[in-house]
Amino acid sequence: IVLTGGDDHLWKVWGFPDGNILMTGEGHTDWLSGCCFRPSGTQLVTSSGDTTVRIWDLSRRGCILTLRGHSRAVRGCSWHSCGDFVASASMDGTSKIWDVNSERCRYTLRGHKESVNSIEFLPFSSTVLTSSADKTLSLWDVRTGFRVHTFQGHMHSCNHATFN
């Protein structure tokens, strides 16, 4: 299956390769910037211009948790490989590590000078990678909430970064 999120405030699950829409989720009040399946495949996370991150249960066909704490649009989200943590990146210049079980923010990652445009966990690790409009990428240790390395060299905004 394929998961998408759009400017229409909706996420959709599509059959692959036939392209049939299997499920649609609504609840965000602004554009969706990111969506990601939980590693188990039973839930998904979405991020939105409405400043929220939402957890959705596919069997219940609805939102089971809304995570609030960003003051501006959320540009991206990622699920940790263990399935217990979600990361979000925001135009407010911060990223957050959310504990899904306690339904709380564990850490707010501060250090970028402008919008944080993407966030991704290194699989099976405690490392997260952020990209920012401040032209940098940063590696963070999510056990402590501290930045461990900054990559510099872009001449313009970094919009996305990923691991091999």
Residue 10: count of CB within 10 angstroms of its CB: 16
Q: Would you list the domain boundaries of the chain?
A: 2-112
| Residue 117 confidence (pLDDT) | 98
Domain 2-112 CATH class label: mainly beta
pLDDT tens digits for range 9-55: 999 999 999 999 999 999 999 999 999 999 999 999 999 999 999 99
- H or E element, residue 61: none
Q: Is 113 exposed, middle or buried (0-12, 13-18, 19+ CB in 10 A)?
A: exposed
Summarised one tens digit per residue, pLDDT across range 95-143 is 999 999 999 999 999 999 999 999 999 999 999 999 999 999 999 999 9
The pLDDT of residue 61 is above 90: no
Q: Which tokens go with 58?
A: 């596919």
Are 105 and 96 in contact by the 8 Å Cβ rule? The answer is: yes
What is the signed CA dihedral for 77, 142, 161, 58, rounded to 10 degrees? -30
